[in-house]
Amino acid sequence: MSAPLFDAAFRERLAELFRWRRDVRHFRRDPIADATLVELVHEAACSPSVGFSQPWRFVLVRDDTRRRAAIASFERANADALRGMSGADAEKYATLKLSGMREAPVHLAVFCDIETPSGKGLGRATMPETLAYSAVMAIYTFWLAARAQGIGVGWVSIIEPDVITAALDVPSQWKLIAYLCVGYPEDDHPTPELERTGWESRDPRATTLHNR
């Protein structure tokens, strides 16, 4: 089978998808069909992984008690982060919406199975962290696939990993990589929210190609 050829029009649309991939915090409450979530996870499974280990594990958090535990974890971690700031940074931080957990119809936790036998350890002896990086690649593929269907994703990193792992009752060898909010955005913006609110600006180093 020959590989498909992607023309200029497709590449421009792909670049547009990259530009419109946003970290969403404001969600509508419209439900996401289970079949759609399954489709997105299948697309995420096309991601590269070290040694073909495929270590990502997607967990759909349906139970209200488990969701409330995750929200409480965020609120504690967020309060701790605010207490560690002062001055203008603290004032700005207090105004930011850093989680859509109460509004998002879907909570999705993504773990890395750090003891998976798949891949037989290939490529991990010198850089064992590539196993977790592989799970991150799957998250990004899921994110882009969701955006292509008009679905937003928000990554909640202000959270207590041990609390989430215990609340979801997953195997002990599963390491939390991301807690995601998934749903249809209230509105769309071409500019990241943290840039719009003045928290941070574009760093030219991010687009610099260094030569050695």
Question: Which residues make beta-bridge pairs with 23?
Answer: 153
For β-strands 56-60 and 152-155, DSSP reports them as unpaired
- Report the alpha-carbon distance of residue 155 to residue 100 in Å, rounded: 9
Domain hosting residue 33, numbered range: 23-186
Residue 197 is assigned to a structural domain of this protein: no
* pLDDT by 10s per residue, the chain, length 212: 899 999 999 999 999 999 999 999 999 999 999 999 999 999 999 999 999 999 999 999 999 999 999 999 999 999 999 999 999 999 999 999 999 999 999 999 999 999 999 999 999 999 999 999 999 999 999 999 999 999 999 999 999 999 999 999 999 999 999 999 999 999 999 899 999 999 999 999 999 999 99
What the block records as the tokens of 145 is 């696939």
Q: How many domains does the chain have?
A: 1
pTM: 0.95
In a domain, 59, yes or no: yes
Residue 100 lies in a domain: yes
209 within some domain: no
Domain assignment present for 81: yes
End-to-end Cα, the chain, rounded Å: 39
CA–CA dist 63, 125 (Å, integer) = 38
Residue in 76, 36, 44 with CA at minimum distance from that of residue 167: 76
Residue 4 maps to a domain: no
**Cβ neighbours for 27, distance < 8 A, ≥ 6 positions apart:** 100, 103, 104, 105, 152, 154, 181, 183, 184, 185, 186
Q: How far apart are CA 180 and CA 23, in angstroms?
A: 10
Paired sense of beta strands 106-113 and 174-183, if any? antiparallel
Is 13 inside a domain boundary? no
